[in-house]
Amino acid sequence: MKVVNILIFCTIVLSCKNQALKLNSPLIYRDVKDKQFTIQFTSDIDFVVHGRAFENNYGCIGKWKYIGDHKILLKCGEIKDPLLAIEPGYMKERDHIIEILSNSRIKYESRILKRAKLISN
């Protein structure tokens, strides 16, 4: 009987964990201090990072995955044009770790980002 209870409990916990990672709509997180820096989770696996420093836009598009311990790995996709790698907006680091602080706040490097409200039409 104990084994059955443990199996049921594990099934419920695992299904709840998987549900928490499903996105019904895009999630946008904006830097609390620098409003021009955003991370947008566009689907269950895709993301977009966008920022602006001085006159240059920078960012990347790629895939994300939950790696446990309240952390998300962002893997920037490969660029098709190698000349873009010498552009000022190219992000040389291709892998980034996001720390989940709460449902509405995440940490990227030294930045704290807050979940932005989506405007519906």
Residue spans of the domains in the chain: they are: 25-115
Higher pLDDT pick, 71 / 87: 71
pLDDT at res. 65? 93
What is the rounded CA–CA span in Å between residue 52 and residue 70?
27
> Helix or strand or coil: residue 35?
coil
The answer to whether 88 and 58 are in contact (CB under 8 A) is yes
Between 11-20, 38-47, 84-93, the lowest mean confidence (pLDDT) is in 11-20
Higher pLDDT, 56 or 99: 99
The sign one gets for the Cα dihedral 20, 118, 107, 65 is: positive
More confident position, 41 or 58:
41
pLDDT at 119: 63
Tokens 């930045």 found at: 111
Q: If one looks up domain 25-115 in CATH, what number appears?
A: 2.40.128
Name the pLDDT band for 117 (thresholds 50, 70, 90). Answer: confident
pTM (predicted TM-score): 0.70
